[in-house]
Amino acid sequence: MQSHIKANFIAVGLTLVANAVIAAESPSALPQSYDELTRTGEIAFGKNNYGQAEKCFLAALREAEKFGPQDKRVAHACKNLAAYYEVRSCFPKAEAYFERELRVKEKQLGAEHPQVIQSVGKLVRFYLSRDNKTKADRLTSLLVAYSDRVVKEQNSVDGHFNELNKFYAHHPEYAEVQKQLVRVREAGSKVRADDHLELAAMLDSIAVIYKERSKFELSEQLFKKSLVLREKTLASDHQALAFSYEHLADLYKAQGRNELAQPLYRQALEVTSKSLQLKRPESYSRLDSLAHSYVESGRIDQAETLYRQALTLLKESTQPRHREIGSASMSLGLLYCKQGRYAEAKDLFKTAMTVTESMHGPQSAALIPVLDSYAEALEKCNSTSEATKIRNRANLIKGAATACKPLDPASDF
- Span 256-274, mean pLDDT? 92
More confident of the two residues 247 and 183: 247
Residue 408's pLDDT is 46
**Percent of the chain residues past pLDDT 90, beyond the cut:** 68
Give the confidence band of 318 by pLDDT, cuts at 50, 70, 90: low
Residue 273's pLDDT is 81
More confident of the two residues 192 and 329: 329
- Span 262-285, mean pLDDT? 82
More confident of the two residues 168 and 150: 150
Contacts 24+ apart (CB under 8 A), 248-251: 248/220, 248/223, 248/224, 249/289, 249/293, 250/211, 250/289, 251/207, 251/211, 251/216, 251/219, 251/220, 251/223
Residue 25's pLDDT is 42
- Span 107-114, mean pLDDT? 93
- Span 96-110, mean pLDDT? 96
For the four alpha carbons of 150, 154, 160 and 163, in that order, the dihedral sign comes to negative
Residue 2 and residue 5: Cα distance in Å, rounded? Answer: 5
